[in-house]
Amino acid sequence: MGRTENPINYEVSTRGRLAELLRAEKAGRTYDELATLTGVSAATLKRAASGKVVPAETVVDSFLAACGSAPRTVRTAKSLRFQARRDELGGPIRVLATTVNTADALSDAFEALHRNAAAPTYREMQKSAGGAYLLPLSSVSRILRRQMLPVDEQQLVAVLRGCRVPEREHGEWVKAWRRAMGRSSSPIDVRGLTWVIDAIRRISTEVRFEALAAGMAPVMAAVEQLDTSRLAAGITPAVAALAATEQLDTSRLAAQMASAIAALPPVAPVTAA
């Protein structure tokens, strides 16, 4: 006969209820037996069923799998774990995308969304987002530590998915991100940049324009979204392609490009005649 277990800690109600469920599913098995089946230490499994801590989701999954728990029980346990973790953090925080207008407010919102999602680990967020190529761990860390904001809408949506924000709410968060980043929702009249291309043509008659076109593609894609950080990055391959020409005056090219970037925000949207 196994040792009598200590009473469950109900200091956080949902945490205690989760421990109660796990003990009921254990049904006479020892923690050593479960450890052999799960590969999780007996001490970790015992803590999971104590009510003193909120176990990791992987621990709950392994615990119940070893017990042969029914799918409905597994869903109940996951729900209790989610609620327990959120209660442990102090409960949900009301946050509305429509009230976010600045970078600081957006950082505050990400903290609240992360907390409301029961503070998933960075790897859990990455998995929910769709993988490392969409949401690198380093980016998650910097965003939640208020060191950066999502670099584009794709990364924003990845963060939202990582925080389990419903898809129906993503549109409002995209608008909030644009406001916080100072981005326009209206497309720019890119015809206003034709003088930049003309200036490049005048700099050298020996430019390899096929290479230039390839380099300028990401520039023009960035311009359409008024994303000046991507625009700057896009200019780099264009300059590299042009630099292959010995007669190119790169200092004049850089000056022309700088003027182009500075001129972007005031460009007015095209209106029908």
Cα–Cα distance, 261 to 181 (Å, whole number): 16
Q: How confident is the model at residue 271 (pLDDT cuts 50, 70, 90)?
A: very low
- Render pLDDT for 220-264 as a digit per residue (tens, 0 to 9): 555 555 555 555 555 666 555 555 554 555 566 666 666 656 555
Do 60 and 22 meet the contact criterion of CB atoms below 8 Å apart?
Answer: yes
- State pTM to two decimals: 0.58
* Over residues 43-50, mean pLDDT: 96
Classified by CATH at the fold level, domain 13-88 comes out as: 434 Repressor (Amino-terminal Domain) (1.10.260)
- Render pLDDT for 140-186 as a digit per residue (tens, 0 to 9): 999 999 999 999 999 999 999 999 999 999 999 999 999 999 875 55
Cα–Cα distance, 41 to 177 (Å, whole number): 43
Do 78 and 70 meet the contact criterion of CB atoms below 8 Å apart?
Answer: no
Helices (H), 5-70: 13-26, 31-38, 42-48, 57-67
Parse the chain into domains and list their residue ranges.
13-88, 97-181, 190-263
- Render pLDDT for 69-94 as a digit per residue (tens, 0 to 9): 999 999 999 999 999 998 988 888 89
The mean of the pLDDT values for the chain is 81
CB atoms near residue 189 (< 10 Å): 12
